[in-house]
Amino acid sequence: MEKLILNSEIIEPKSGNVSKAIILFHGYGGDGKDISVLSNIWSRYLKNTIFICPDGHEKCEINPNGYQWFDLSKDDPNYILEQILIAEKKINNFINQIKYNYNLKNEDICLSGFSQGCMISLNVGLTSKENFNSIIGFSGKIINKEDLSNRLKNKTNVLLFHGNLDTIVPPNNLLDAKDFLIRHKIRVQSKMIQNCDHTIPVEASSNALDYLKKNLENN
């Protein structure tokens, strides 16, 4: 078994049998432990699923105790795109390790993330040569529509959630992402959570679990 190139919180199924994986990507300034809380409930119902929650490959510019998937210190779209492409390469290598270690295919893997983690999940998930099982995003957006349009390679199903009171990543980004995906004939479901800011509320987590039970566990 290869040592993973990204430090990760790993929650293995109690059954000991791994047939599915959910890779959870944290937000800007967070870490794998932060996002791993989603596995606390999900793992009770997804019996043969391993949860892998990596730390970003870089220390966060504004929070030295946390990590980032790409740098946001410069308000320069070209610079941000360069950083995203670097992150994608790292994450793709990381996913290949997971597939090798647990004998999995893309169709056995759900990519999920919060905020910046949602953004990178969409980029990585939709530019792969093969469909993933699904992409589940919380409070994110499409980072660079023109770039992603030119690099789309699959039709992975997408589920998106956003809080209507989010001031960090404004909620109109949910509608923009949904429109983008529909225009590219990618199946997408979405839900705007009322009275919710930049967080993952119980309602979104529960709805995501229902989706996973239908689309991952029974696949």
pTM across the whole model: 0.97
**Per-residue pLDDT, 86:** 96
What stretches of the chain adopt beta strand conformation (E)? Answer: 8-11, 20-25, 49-54, 58-59, 67-68, 109-114, 134-138, 158-163, 188-193
Fold of the CATH domain 8-215: Rossmann fold (3.40.50)
- Whole-number Å distance between alpha carbons of 69 and 59: 9
> Are 92 and 128 contacting, i.e. CB atoms less than 8 angstroms apart?
yes
- Whole-number Å distance between alpha carbons of 117 and 177: 15
**Per-residue pLDDT, 14:** 85
Q: 20: how many CB neighbours lie within 10 A of its CB?
A: 23
pLDDT tens for each residue of the chain, 219 residues long: 899 999 999 999 988 899 999 999 999 999 999 999 999 999 999 989 999 999 999 999 888 899 999 998 888 889 999 999 999 999 999 999 999 999 999 999 999 999 999 999 999 999 999 999 999 999 999 999 999 999 999 999 999 999 999 999 999 999 999 999 999 999 999 999 999 999 999 999 999 999 999 998 776
- Whole-number Å distance between alpha carbons of 166 and 64: 24
**Per-residue pLDDT, 1:** 86
Q: 66: how many CB neighbours lie within 10 A of its CB?
A: 18
3-state secondary structure of 89: helix
**Per-residue pLDDT, 16:** 85
Going from N- to C-terminal start, the domains of the chain cover 8-215
- Whole-number Å distance between alpha carbons of 104 and 169: 33
The tokens of 24 are what? 């959870």
**Per-residue pLDDT, 87:** 97
**Per-residue pLDDT, 217:** 73
**Per-residue pLDDT, 60:** 94
